Structure 1
Amino acid sequence: MSWDALVESARTAVVWLLSAASVPVLVYFVVINTSYLVVITLAALEFRSQARRRDAAVAALGGPLTPGVSLIVPAYNEEAGIVTSVKALLSLRYPHHEVVVVDDGSGDATLSRLVEAFDLVEIPRDIPRDVPVQAAVRSVHVPRDGRTRLVVVSKENSGRSEAVNLGINAATEPLVAMIDADSILEPDALLRVTQPFTNDPTRMVATGGTIRAANGSRVVSGRVVRVELPRGWLPRVQVVEYFRAFLLGRTGWSRFGGLILISGAFGLFRRDVLVEVGGLDHTSIGEDFELVMRIHRHLRDQKRDYRVQFVPEPVSWTEVPATFRVLRSQRRRWHRGLWETLWAYRGMLLRPRYGRIGMVALPYYWLFELLAPLLEAFGIIVVPVALLLGVINIPFAIMFLLLAYGYAIFVTLCALAVEEWAFHRHERWRDLAMIVLASVVENVGYRQLTVIWRLEGWWASLRNKKQVWGVMTRSGFDEASP
């Protein structure tokens, strides 16, 4: 085939694609960005209603009716920061909480560091098997002083999910919080995240807190004392993502009554409900999403009145990926977990018995979360090719860019405005200017890369490729002097 014939064939194919898909794709971008605006508006309304009762409610907490909390910390090769993390968790402002560290067969000095720092002694304690756990328990340790509410369980290596499940079995309090070993909780985080359980103790089954990027912030003794932006643009863009997705997105869905995802890095659950549903599924790569979906299905099938709520105030700080390699692994895993969980619970889709979860939340996640990279890939590939072949006019290309990316930038700026109005965490105008610039950078290069990575994760699942959790390489927090 001659070059001219090849070009003509390509031109014909692109023209057909444009005629068939251009209008649906443009409508899709308008609808998805408008839906983000709706969610942001719901979040703003929730912030406003919570602000009226925030300080008084927190001041009233901590009394005899405050439910006890077990903080479960799965740890694998965390020797560098595990002692600082546990000390910070033990010193949280909360009247009745314990810390349960589950050492998942670490190959470093995680366990010995804990033994030395807290003067731990091994005890002959039998841990119940309320939630199935396959790995064997090696030892159980508690502080010698008999006062510090810390339990350290060492087990054979079998993954994070089983470590959390073992922690659920070892927990003695009615509420269970799952905390990553490298996360930093704000001092009153537990007071705030347990408030819904205090207000509605019979119906509330789970709450989630905000996850924010700590890269670049000032950290003293396991506490974020000054919020600052990261130095690199890659983590800066993720700061913007976390505003939109974790803080505003989930707050909006929570107000609507359709919250189906609580981050495994900071979620609080009733222990009895976790036992009912069998804890985390160790075969799922989207374990946190899958757990919340299983809770919804279980309680809806039983026709029980319950609530799942997101609380924007209790913040858990985490280090986001600073390299493209680690970020790629994370986003591939996230999208694979999204697909596998949505597919596993496809029987809930558009089923009235599952209420807003089945009729609104799940269709939204199918259309605007799962399928989004496919349609964005259309624009990334077809529109530039069409311009090169001369089969698309410039006004149409400009309209596509405005609707796909210009509208997205506007939505992100609205999200940033709402976040700053509600919490005002950035003290310097320079930081706000950098965040605005990062919202633009997100749509030029970064967003296109995440589209590719998400499709890779989806394709790996469709090919039934072995699940690999991957390694989150962290540079660690820069601990400043007090």
Structure 2
Amino acid sequence: MIFQWGDIVAVFAWFIAVYMVIVIVFYTVILVISLFQLRKEYQLDRVQAYEDYMDEFYTKPVSIIVPAYNEEAGIIQSVRSLLSVNYPTYEIIVVNDGSTDLTLEKMIEHYEMKEIKKVIRKQVDSKPIKKIYQSEILSNLFLVDKENGGKADALNVGLNFSHYPYFCSLDGDSVLEQDAFLKVMKPIIDSNEEVIASGGSVRIANGCQIQNGHIHKIGLSDKPLVVMQIIEYLRAFLMGRIGLSRHNLLLIISGAFGVFSKHWVIAAGGYRVDTVGEDMELVVRMHRLLKEKGQKKKIVYVPDPVCWTEVPEDLTYLRRQRRRWHRGLFESLWIHKKLTFNPKYGSIGFLAFPYFWIVEFFGPIVELSGYIFMILCLFLGGIYIEYSILLFLLSCLYGSIFSMAAVLLEEWSLTKYPKVSDIVKLFLYSLTETLWYRPLTVLWRCEGIWQMVIGDKSWGEMKRKGVSE
């Protein structure tokens, strides 16, 4: 019996170790691709690269859709930041999704909105619209008041209302850098519309000085939980998305900041309202539609344009967010499960989908099993301690080292954090990720899986305090 138990322990230990090695190899490849891509992009003259795009002759007009539900804390500042972006032709459409706070009233009062009558062509399904407003002082600012239907439904309403061939989905608590639209639209314009969707970077505004919707000083929060999220975002965007985008394998464009071709989104059916991960599900559906129609279009990520957004500062709200994200990941993968290893869908089916299933979805289950196994091995003693040490070293390599690499990529390329002390702080915090932050996120993501098993579809309230003064 002891021998059989030893065999089971050995097999389980090697399964976890092999899994983690595979993940480490994958991330190493992604890191190398990201390094070369960033080096290629940032050898260019950034200012000269975007100057020509201020001419209306070259650019494409964009509709900015801002779904807003109980965003009274930051909606005025967010709209103000959008009104000052460097872009020739755009409109702003704030969609009030049945807010129960003062979001609607604040918008009407501050921007002198007056009700207008307008016939809207319903190209995708959505909840009924109550009223439509237009600013008397800013002709390109609109406010659509509708029945509550969720973020995806609000985006569909904005899509129906929009006037321009490209639209941007933007969270109501976000602040854009002034040249963000020039940068995120550049690949679409340069490709002669071969690129049908382009996503920018999302950075964390907590700890920054933001006044009247403008970034005055970039800094770090004094809360460890927020600092760890900054590192997590750097790794997700500067490593993961650059590498996947390089080979047209990107399955996620953040709902906080992305530009899409209106034609292709409508052709795909708009946003689904029955999933909590509507942004990923739309991108996957667009990839699927392109493959089925034999269209060689691209969906890309651009690291330079940055949108600053507020993140949770306490464990309760962060836990809700991560559980919801993991449920959204599963829903997107499950809805389109036929793509997995399907030769009809090329590299999306053979590379992107297996990666998201094996690494992103099942990864937390394997990691949580590894943490539990490491603890048990320490109590068992003997050879099991060696297993425990092996798994711990692999988890450190998997977590902290790649997080440190992401911080260095940030300093090498975008340099959004000007103070050396901030980079040092990020670097030191990244060393501790495996010890506390990653186990927490792994546990929360596993809780998201458990919620799906028991049929719990609760959303969970996200409290915002606003990031702009």
**How would you bin the TM-score normalised by the shorter chain?**
over 0.9
Q: Which residue of 1 is the match for residue 460 of structure 2?
A: 470
Partners of 1:82 and 1:116 lie apart in 2 by 13
Output the amino acid matched with 1:84. Q
Q: Aligned partners of 2:418 and 2:344: how far apart in 1?
A: 47
1:257 maps to which residue?
Answer: 248
Q: CA deviation at 1:463?
A: 2.6
* TM-score, length of structure 2 as denominator length: 0.96
CA offsets per residue over residues 186-208 of structure 1, 9 Å max, x none? 10000000001110133111010
Q: Which moved more, 1:234-243 or 1:200-209?
A: 200-209
* 2:136 maps to 1:144: yes
Give 1:83-482 correspondences, 5 Å limit: 83-133=76-126, 135-145=127-137, 147-390=138-381, 392-465=383-456, 467-477=457-467, 479=469
- Between the aligned partners of 1:14 and 1:441, the Cα distance in structure 2 is 33
Q: Contact (CA 8 Å) 1:211, 1:247: kept in 2 or not?
A: no
- Cα distance in 2 for residues equivalent to 1:236 and 1:168: 35
CA distance in 2, matches of 1:178, 1:407: 33
Q: Aligned partner of 2:466: which letter?
A: G
**Per-residue deviation, 1:391:** 5.2
Give the letter for the 1:219 counterpart.
Answer: I
Please give the alpha-carbon distance, in whole angstroms, between the structure 1 residues aligned to 2:216 and 2:24: 34
Deviation sequence 1:324-357 (CA, Å, 0-9, x none): 1101101101111111211111100111221211
Say if 1:26 and 1:404, in contact at 8 Å, map to a contact too: no
C-alpha separation in 2, matches of 1:316 and 1:469? 24
CA distance in 2, matches of 1:162, 1:444: 40
Contact conserved, 1:328 with 1:450, CA < 8 A, in 2? yes
1:224-278 Cα distance to aligned partner (Å, 9 max, x none): 2222111110011011000000232101110122111111111110011111111
Distance in 2 separating the partners of 1:36 and 1:269:
28
- The separation in 2 between residues aligned to 1:223 and 1:392, in whole angstroms, is 58
Which moves more between the two structures, 95-104 or 245-254?
A: 245-254
Q: Is the 8 A contact 2:377 2:388 kept in 1?
A: no
User: Partner letter of residue 372 of structure 1?
Assistant: G
C-alpha distance in structure 2 between counterparts of 1:158 and 1:427, whole Å: 41
- Distance (whole Å) between structure 2 residues aligned to residue 381 and residue 118 of structure 1: 55
Residue 74 in 1 paired to residue 67 in 2? yes
* 2-structure distance, mates of 1:144, 1:116: 11
1:65, distance to aligned residue in structure 2 (A): 2.2
* Contact 2:69-2:97 at 8 Å conserved across structures: yes
CA distance in 1, matches of 2:189, 2:80: 26
Tell me the alpha carbon deviations over residues 366-391 of structure 1, each in whole angstroms, 9 at most, x when there is no partner.
11111111111121112211221225
Letter in 1 for 2:133: H
Q: Which moved more, 1:150-159 or 1:377-386?
A: 377-386
Count matched residues.
Answer: 467
Q: Residues 383-426 of structure 1, C-alpha deviation per residue, up to 9 Å, x if partnerless?
A: 21122122544333222211122443222222221221011222
- Answer yes or no: is the 8 Å Cα contact 1:206–1:308 preserved in 2: yes
Query: Which residue does 1:5 correspond to in 2?
Result: none
Secondary structure at 1:116's aligned position in 2?
helix
Structure-2 change in CA distance of 1:122 and 1:302 (3 Å):
same
Partner residue in 2 for 1:43: 34
Take 2:254 and 2:29, find their aligned partners in 1: how far apart are those partners? 22
**1:15 alignment counterpart:** 6
Q: Deviations over 1:49-87 (max 9, x none)?
A: 222333322111122120000000011112222112112
Distance 2:116 2:443 in 1: 50
- 1:423 is paired with a residue whose SS is coil
Q: Does 1:29 align with 2:20?
A: yes
Q: TM-score, normalised by structure 1?
A: 0.94
Q: CA deviation at 1:25?
A: 1.1
Q: Which amino acid aligns with 1:93?
A: N
SS at match of 2:279: helix
Offset of residue 116 of structure 1: 1.4
CA contact under 8 A between 2:74 and 2:468: conserved in structure 1? no
Paired residue type of 1:129 = K
| Of 52, 58, 64, the match for 1:65 | 58
How far is the alpha carbon of 1:462 from its aligned partner?
A: 2.5
Structure 1 spans left out of the alignment, 5+ residues: 1-8
> Secondary structure in 2 aligned to 1:338?
helix
Once residues 386 and 393 of structure 1 are traced to their aligned partners in structure 2, the CA distance between those partners, rounded to angstroms, is 5
Structure 2 residue matching 1:263: 3-state secondary structure: coil
